[in-house]
Amino acid sequence: MSQLIGAAFGLEEKPVDLALKLGAQCFQIQAGDPQGWKKPDVEFAGGSKELASLIKEKKLAVYIHAAYVINVASTNNRIRIPSRKLLQQTVDLAKEIDAKGVIVHAGHVTKDDDPKSGFDNWRKAAEQTEMHVPVLIENTAGGNHAMARSLENIENLWKMVGHTGIGFCLDTCHAFAAGLELESLVKDIKKITKRIDLIHANGSRDEFGSARDRHSNFAESLLDKNLIAKVVKEAKCDAIIETAEPGIKDDISFLKKMVS
């Protein structure tokens, strides 16, 4: 199976048209307000069925990024319970548009919490979520109490969720910011998770180990684009670039050439 290279869009940007314009083979959308708790919706003319039909017609593939507010690791019931509900709603919507996966941030606990409680909360969420499409946990750039910033915490997390069939999304900018060595990272992650389902192939505006989550196009990146391409090629999965014009068309073209 060939690797698909694409970009992230908002629905208001007419994602199918943009994907075709940029030469993308797949794309990622945010269904609804990424900072809100409202039930996600594609808000596409003709609804989810029309969008699914158009994606299929144009021979594209789509992923959905779940809202950023989701934190199923939280020990706060007012955050954790709505997070599980919103994640399930996002997965249900993803099924309607025949998405290849739902990406969700791994979340965090507070300084006063035992990290084990966060990992266990993830276990409960993963076991209870009806995964009509793959759910992919994304690694984190910063945060001392994040569930998926360090390899150690990713390993601790996977001990709790690995049996559920949950997947992994590797963000190159996040990994670089977290101080993870990208030269060996695909091997290191797969040793823990046994899988990488999607790459967020992002450059970084900040230096290695900065803990700052600021994506950049490859031309401005402090993270070498050839190293990003190496990660994508070794992972043998689709890649989404989460930046914008100007530059993203060139980045898509570069990655397509490197993995062909």
- pLDDT tens, position by position, 137-154: 999 999 889 999 999 999
- Angle of helix 77-96 relative to helix 47-57, nearest 10 degrees, comes to 50
Query: Interior CA angle at 88 toward 82 and 92, to 5°?
Result: 140
What are residue 258's phi and psi, to 5 degrees?
-70, -30
Looking at residue 1, its pLDDT comes to 56
Number of Cβ within 10 Å of residue 77's Cβ equals 8
DSSP 43-95: --TTHHHHHHHHHHHTT-EEEEEPPTT--TT-S-HHHHHHHHHHHHHHHHHHH
Contact criterion met (CB below 8 Å) for 159 and 118:
no
Tens of pLDDT along the chain (260 residues)?
589 999 999 877 789 999 999 999 999 999 888 999 999 998 788 889 999 999 999 999 999 999 999 999 999 999 999 999 999 999 999 999 999 999 999 999 999 999 999 999 999 999 999 999 999 999 999 988 999 999 999 999 999 999 999 999 999 999 999 999 999 999 999 999 999 999 999 999 999 999 999 999 999 999 999 999 999 999 999 999 999 888 999 999 999 999 98
Do 54 and 109 touch, CB atoms closer than 8 A? no
Give the model confidence (pLDDT) of 56-111 as tens digits: 999 999 999 999 999 999 999 999 999 999 999 999 999 999 999 999 999 999 99
Cα 41 from Cα 238, distance rounded (Å): 24
Token pair, residue 23, equals 């030469």
In the DSSP assignment, the letter for residue 146 is: B
| Cα–Cα distance measured from residue 148 to residue 146, given in angstroms and rounded to the nearest whole number | 6
Binning the chain into helix, strand and coil, the percentages to the nearest 5 are 45, 15, 40
239: Cβ–Cβ under 8 A, 6 or more apart, which residues? Answer: 3, 4, 5, 6, 198, 199, 200, 201, 232, 255, 259
15-22 vs 248-259: helix axis angle to the nearest 10? Answer: 60
